[in-house]
């Protein structure tokens, strides 16, 4: 396995984690951190020190709500950093088993979370159509989705 220089990759992308002053505004604003181990400030500190983040479970706990990025007093693109590091991790073959599993759903059904009967009942209760405007409603488009996923080699990235 290669050893990517994450800090340099972030800097090259214009993400200035070195300007972090460790104020903790990001962690305090983080809804995921209230329910998981995610500590955004710690994650940014690791990025600053160029420590191994590819094997840090925190990396996968972010829900990409952008609260932290909107509030960071230093204007650091925190979520962009997290997404960039996730991309590096996946290309290194590192991802949570749960994400690998939902990726298989994506490849098979064109949805990370395929619809089920309970969801249909909820949709009906909300006055929505039974099926969303996706491959569920237009099953002929599923082959197109699969072709797109194969063409960007998503299937190879997420294979077991």
Binding site for ligand SF4 (CB under 6 A): 20-26, 29-33, 40-41, 44, 62-68, 72-74, 76, 78-79
Measured from the CB atom, is 26 or 89 closer to ligand SF4? 26
Inter-helix orientation angle 97-109/142-151, to 10°: 130
Least distance CB 122 / ligand SF4 (angstroms): 25
Least distance CB 41 / ligand SF4 (angstroms): 4
How far is Cα 97 from Cα 88, in angstroms, rounded to an integer? 17
Least distance CB 17 / ligand SF4 (angstroms): 7
Measured from the CB atom, is 72 or 158 closer to ligand SF4? 72
Q: Is the dihedral of CA 79, 83, 88, 94 positive or negative?
A: positive
Measured from the CB atom, is 11 or 138 closer to ligand SF4? 11
Measured from the CB atom, is 77 or 136 closer to ligand SF4? 77
């Amino acid at each position: 396995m290669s050893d990517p220089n994450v800090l340099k990759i972030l800097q090259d992308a214009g993400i200035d984690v070195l300007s972090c002053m460790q104020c903790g505004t990001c962690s305090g604003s983080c809804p995921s951190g209230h329910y998981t181990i995610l500590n955004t400030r710690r994650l940014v500190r690791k990025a600053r020190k160029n420590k191994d983040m590819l094997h840090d479970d925190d990396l996968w706990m972010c829900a990409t709500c952008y609260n932290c990025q909107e509030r960071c007093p230093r204007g650091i693109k925190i979520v962009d950093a997290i997404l960039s590091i996730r991309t590096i991790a996946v290309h290194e073959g590192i991802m949570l088993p749960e994400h690998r599993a939902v990726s298989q759903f994506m490849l098979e059904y064109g949805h990370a979370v395929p619809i089920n009967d309970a969801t249909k009942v909820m949709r009906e209760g909300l006055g929505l159509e039974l099926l969303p405007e996706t491959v569920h409603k237009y099953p002929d488009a599923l082959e197109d989705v699969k072709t797109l996923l194969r063409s960007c080699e998503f299937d190879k990235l997420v294979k077991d």
